[in-house]
Chains A and B, each alone.
Chain A
Amino acid sequence: MQELTTTRHNPQIDPFMQVWGWEIPVYLFLGGLVAGMMIISGYFIFSKRYKNTNCVTYTLPIISLLLLSLGMFSLFLDLEHKLYVWRLYTTFKISSPMSWGAWILILVYPVITANLLMDSPKFLADRFPQLDKIKNFIHERPVLIQNIGVGNMLLGGMLGVYTGVLLSTMGSRPLWNSSMLWVLFLISGLSTAAALVHMIAKDVDERELLAKADNGFLTIEIFVLALLLIGLLTSSSVHIEAAKLLISGAYAPAFWVFVVGMGVVIPLFIQLLAVNHKIKHTPIAPIMVIGGGLILRFIIVAAGQYSHYLNAHFK
């Protein structure tokens, strides 16, 4: 037997780490959601669906900009030294995912804005007549439009991957230390985005397509979750303990009920019935998917901070 006693009681550190509260999960969730929306919007542009004036690609950019700004504000709230936030942009640190993220976010804004300028929202177009000229300029150039589509998919992909890499590079936290984490966050970002866009889209064809895509994403998400857990369970003892936190430990009830049940399995079942025209499409399944995606970020951030090399030795 081994018993460990410490005199340290640093705030946010002891008895277990809680340096990241609600702000980071919200930031990661919104980042993933916007990433998914960029990929969907970019795909709709790339596949020439933008020619339909009803296409949701004209609605998404303004929502993406709003959600992304909310996410960044959430990250800002988490900083302990808020006045120094500009320091992020005085350097680029290649080894730091957070530095990558800061710069990716800077690139994401103009790419979404280019998507927005393809048909600016009415309240903006009314105020700034020049926007109409820009719109015409873009629509006269199909190659430019293709590039806007590709740019959105590419930057969306980078943003989605980054939200997972931010955590998975931390070898100190066994639960996060899995190369499946970025896949999970990217696919969860796509499934929550497909769910949200499904609710917004006006075109029936697009709604059907998004519901089918979401079913695909949710199915992949089940496999990715399983692979993440299997990867941890077949690794060292600290990683096994970390996986147990989700499987049977303190975070298990929330994980199984809200993430797996409410967030993936039940909405997948409902949406499968809907796309096979057994029941009508309702917002219930998409809302469940979005809720599940948010709770997934909360659980992974909290359980990851709890998971520790020492926890495996001293339970």
Chain B
Amino acid sequence: MARFGMAIDTKKCVGCMDCVVACKTENNVPEGHNRDWIVTVANGKFPNVNLEIQSQRCNHCDNTPCVACCPTGASHVHEVGAVVLVDHNMCIGCKACLASCPYDARFVHPDGYADKCTFCIHRVEEGKLPACVSVCPTHCMYFGDLDDANSEVSRLIASRKNHPLLPEAGTSPRIFYLI
């Protein structure tokens, strides 16, 4: 079974927010809510400063506290690519999954269910790339199977210095930032 993940090149990302807009359009994300967002991390002290720009979203973790705590089974690991999804028709909106995510990647959709990035599974199942990946003007995002050692993401992660977000939270996130 595939295990989808991403590699995002922070050396290329300029923080243009095209990924954010593409996601909102593709997934009809309601006004005032975001499934993906841009974080800039400024490190160091002048004159030795560097800026890392990260396009962030649900990390589709390997260890999923959000799925474990869900009382209805609405939050689940999809059979395609082990993508973490929410079944809107089963969600009671108890918000346990929101509280359990160390990345605060989820929010409550105005229609009353927990919502978050789906890795655009509806596109991926049609053989396309997630909307954010396909629109990025700098081509800084790579999407693919982490279990396939020959996939572009796996090779980039193996060959370039990288870090996931908050590894100490113990969820084994599957998005890696190339630095």
Q: Which residues from chain A sit less than 8 Å from chain B, CB to CB?
A: 1-14, 17, 19-20, 78-82, 84-85, 87-88, 90-91, 93, 95-99, 101-102, 166, 169-173, 236, 238, 305, 308-310
Contacts and interface: CB of A to CB of B under 8 A. Distances in A.
Contact of A81 (B33, B93, B99, B101): B93
Interface string B40-56: 11111100000000001
B71 to A, nearest CB: 4
A172 B94 contact: no
B113 A81 contact: yes
8 contacts: A4-B40, A6-B56, A8-B34, A84-B89, A88-B72, A93-B70, A171-B170, A309-B169
Contacts of A173: 99
Contacts of B147: none
A7 B142 CA distance: 22
Interface in B142-164: none
Given A5-B39, A87-B72, A90-B72, A305 B99 contact: yes
Given A3-B41, A170-B65, A172-B102, A84 B90 contact: yes
Nearest to A170: B100
A2 B100 CA distance: 25
B108 A4 contact: no
Interface in B64-100: 65, 68-74, 89-96, 98-100
Contact of A11 (B20, B33, B73, B99): B33
Nearest to A17: B104
Interface in B126-179: 166, 168-170
B17 interface: yes
Contact of A13 (B40, B44, B107): B107
A11 B107 contact: yes
Given A17-B98, A84-B91, A87-B92, A172 B65 contact: yes
A164 to B, nearest CB: 15
Interface of A is mostly: loop
Nearest to B109: A80
B43 A95 contact: no
B72 to A, nearest CB: 4
Q: Is the interface of B mostly helix, strand, loop or mixed?
A: loop
Interface in B12-64: 17, 20, 32-34, 37-45, 56
Contacts of B102: 171-172, 308-309
Contact of A6 (B39, B65, B74, B98): B39
A240 to B, nearest CB: 13
A96 B68 contact: yes
Given A11-B32, A12-B107, A98-B96, A93 B72 contact: yes
B91 A19 contact: no
A182 to B, nearest CB: 15
Nearest to A173: B99
Nearest to B103: A172
B71 A10 contact: no
Nearest to B49: A1
Contact of A80 (B34, B71, B113): B113
Contacts of B74: 87
Given A91-B71, A171-B100, 8 more contacts: A1-B44, A6-B37, A6-B40, A7-B37, A84-B92, A87-B90, A96-B71, A98-B96
A99 B71 contact: yes
Given A1-B44, A171-B170, A10 B73 contact: no
Contacts of B70: 93, 96, 98
A93 B64 CA distance: 14
Contact of A170 (B34, B45, B99, B107): B99
Given A80-B108, A84-B90, A85-B92, A3 B99 contact: no
Contacts of A6: 37-40, 56
Contacts of B40: 4-6
Contacts of A91: 71-73
Contact of B71 (A5, A78, A88, A236): A88
Nearest to B166: A309
Most chain B beta-carbon neighbours within 10 Å: one of A3, A14, A81, A169: A81
A2 B43 contact: yes
B113 A2 contact: no
Contacts of B20: 7
B97 to A, nearest CB: 10
B105 to A, nearest CB: 9
